[in-house]
Amino acid sequence: MENPNVQRSCEQWNVDFMNFLVNSQRLTQWRPTGGPELMYIALSHESCDLDSVVSTLAIAYLRFRNPGNLQHHFMPVLNMLRRDYATKTEVRFLLDKQQITPERHLVFRDDVPEELLLRCRFILVNHHVSPFHYCTEEVYDYRPYQCEAARLPIYCQRIMHPMRSCAALITERYDSTVYNYANVRCQRIFELLHAALLLQNCNYAQHAPEELPLVRDYQLLLFLEKQLGELQPLQRTMLYETLATAMFDLNDLTLPQVLRREFKLLRANNGSHLVRIAQCCFPMAVTRFISFEFAQLALQQFAAEHNCDFILLLGNSIQAKGDLVIKELGLIPLDALRNIEDRRFFDHLIINLNSSMDPILGLEPYRGLDFMHGAYFFVNVWHIQYCDMLHLMQRITYNWVAEDNCPTQASQSL
């Protein structure tokens, strides 16, 4: 086993990290030899945003270089299809700057054979609810713990602190002499983590200058800048704006790719009728998306591929303080509401979206807009984010199921 205490130069760490990524692709063909070594997959969140991707690469390399008593294998896996990598424009932009290419350095969900998934241990990054919960040994997530949904083993180590980014959790590990006893100091990784912290925290614009020294994400940003060189506020702002511009640069994407950029499939079954809803989010106005010539064809193809009955379109915008928020939404029924149960569910969604109090959406309808028989709204508040809409839709669909399974229960709006 290589001595982890061997000191490396900055360039040697960079080369070693790139070699680690190249070798990770070969691990997709790993077979157990009967020895004590195990395979660990560091699995990103399925959104594969910059925070999730960077954190996955960084923690997998840190664990590889701090292996403990046994020399296990560590493979970072991006929890998305390889074909959809191009849709993550800000991820592609930043990794390209670091000369990290999908062809040579990245492993995607569809690259990993199913039989390998069944024999691996998992490190969940930026999420903690997973079908691989039964063999998960570590979790890195800044969100509140969902005890009923997660079902993690009692021996699973949960690194789940109330921060604004997963990159902050991983940076803490690099700053720890306990977890980073090999003293890994890789400039490429620090630059990736630095960029993720800036973008996820929206350049810290929501904090007053006197508050910043108390913000843990900001303290860890300063730790990275001690390694990289301190930046002035204007320099940070320029870097943040460059990343935000890359996020909104959809010029090279097709409409189907825009729909696949960030989506989640939800299912609701009231006992007699199954409904599938796709929630698609993209940095573009919904009204602009549906104005394109082939928008209807793209939506129909997406619905056919994912077997969904409704599509909820969420259009992102950046507010003055830098937060990425939802400003438009559109709910589209793919079967034109020919089924009575679908009409009931469509009405249920519209009523509850309009009457929601947690969060309040402030919906203003676009009257006269009848694209694919959908309903379209402007979100007249400045704090609604993708995760807020996801949680709200989950509650609304659960409410529909509960009402139909309990006929005597009075209808409740959320």
Name the nearest CA neighbour of 54 among 82, 85, 78. 78
Which stretch of 286-295, 329-338, 374-383 has the lowest confidence by average pLDDT? 329-338
pLDDT tier for residue 13 given thresholds of 50, 70 and 90: very high
Assign 335 to helix, strand or coil: coil
Residues recorded for the chain: 414
pLDDT tier for residue 147 given thresholds of 50, 70 and 90: confident
**Considering the entire predicted model, what is its pTM?**
0.89
Q: Which domains does the chain have, with CATH numbers?
A: 10-246 (3.90.1640.10), 255-405 (3.10.310.20)
Alpha helices in 175-291 (DSSP H): 187-200, 216-228, 233-247, 255-260, 286-289
**Tokens 């193809």, residue?**
301
**pLDDT at position 6, please?**
53
Helices 10-26 & 50-65, crossing angle to 10 degrees? 100
**Tokens 């870097």, residue?**
239
**pLDDT at position 413, please?**
31
Instruction: List C-alpha distances in Å: 207 to 243, 321, 397.
Output: 20, 9, 35
